[in-house]
Structure 1
C-alpha cells in the first residue's frame, strides 16, 4: 500500500511548484513580449487597446446626423 501525503506535505509541494513557475525565465520573457506592445500603445495613443469602432464610424453625433438624413431622404423617396 502506498501512503498518501498529508495536508501539510501536499501544501508544501504546491508552494514549491508555484515558486518554480513564478521564477521561470520563459514566463518572464513571454510576459514582457505580451506587455511591451500594450505599454507602447498606451504611451503613444493613450489607450490600452485599439478603438476600431471609433476609427471606422467617427463620433456618435455624426452617426446620428447621417442616420436621420438617411431616414428623411428614404421617406421622401418612398412618398411617406
Structure 2
C-alpha cells in the first residue's frame, strides 16, 4: 500500500554574519515566494524572524535547522533544508 506524499518545500539559508563572542548568527531564509531575515541568538536559544508575514510557517523548521547546524554555519555560506509543508 502506497503512503500519501508529504508536501515539501526547500528552504534556502544564507548566513550574513556571526559572532561567537556575542552568541548570534544572522542571515536570510527563503522558501517558495517568502523571504525573511533572522537572528539566531544561540546562547539564549532565541530566534527572531522578520517580516511577520509567513513567520509562523518557517519559525519551527528554521529553529530546528539552526539548533542542529549552528556550529557548522559560516558567514557567506549557503545552506538548504526541507520544510514538510507546501509554502
What TM-score do you get using the length of structure 1 for normalisation?
Answer: 0.22
Compare the two structures and name the one with the higher strand fraction.
2
Task: Give the greater-gyration-radius structure (CA).
Answer: 1
What TM-score do you get using the length of structure 2 for normalisation?
Answer: 0.21
Compare the two structures and name the one with the higher helix fraction.
1
